[in-house]
Chain A
Amino acid sequence: DAKTTQPTSMDCAEGRAANLPCNHSTISGNEYVYWYRQIHSQGPQYIIHGLKNNETNEMASLIITEDRKSSTLILPHATLRDTAVYYCIVRVMEYGNKLVFGAGTILRVKS
Chain B
Amino acid sequence: RKEVEQDPGPFNVPEGATVAFNCTYSNSASQSFFWYRQDCRKEPKLLMSVYSSGNEDGRFTAQLNRASQYISLLIRDSKLSDSATYLCVVTRRRDYSGAGSYQLTFGKGTKLSVIP
Same complex origin of A and B? no
